[in-house]
Amino acid sequence: MTHITPLRIGLCAIVSFMVMLCSCGKSTPDEMLAQAEEAISHGDPSEAVECCKKLEDENLSVNQLCRSALIYAKASQLGNRPEHMAMASSCLKKAIALQPDSVTSYISSLQYADMATLNEVYGLSRFNPDSVRIDDYLEYIEDPMDMEVLR
């Protein structure tokens, strides 16, 4: 007869938790986002990003796109990975294209830290590098060496 020891219970709990984190495969988008949020709360940005990447081909709602953007942004901060911030910006751009008022409502419903994070992403999503032309500012540059640095 096998005895159940605290060590076996602990190992079963750890294995169950790991299976849950790795089970991003066949879940609904909301379940996958919840798993990604859980991974962020445990300090695992790579697992969170993996879950979100599996949603890229899904037809997500505005709320789900905003949640994805926040997850990517937090993953960027945790893992010091700027490319995740670009993915956050992409999610937010899609949400804005669908329903800009809903994005504003979502952001305003967040806690302050999350609101600040998503506002940063919002600012990045509105930036259009094609609209900035250095030649438009050359008349304001006095030192020719500064001009060469900009080019």
Query: 65 Cβ partners below 8 Å, 6+ apart?
Result: 91, 92, 94, 95, 98
The tens digit of pLDDT for each residue in 95-108 reads: 999 999 999 999 99
The tens digit of pLDDT for each residue in 72-87 reads: 999 999 988 888 998 9
Domain borders along the chain are 16-150
Dihedral sign of CA atoms 126, 114, 103, 79 in order: positive
pLDDT for the residue numbered 17: 52
User: Quick count: other Cβ atoms within 10 Å of Cβ 23?
Assistant: 13
**Residue 151 pLDDT level (bands cut at 50, 70, 90):** very low
Residue with tokens 């504003």, as numbered in its chain: 104
**Exposure class string for 87-103: b at 16+ Cβ within 10 A, else e:** bbbbbbbbbbeeeeebb
Q: Average per-residue pLDDT in the chain? A: 79
Compute the average pLDDT of residues 40-55.
Answer: 94
Q: How far is residue 80 CA from its own chain's centroid? A: 12
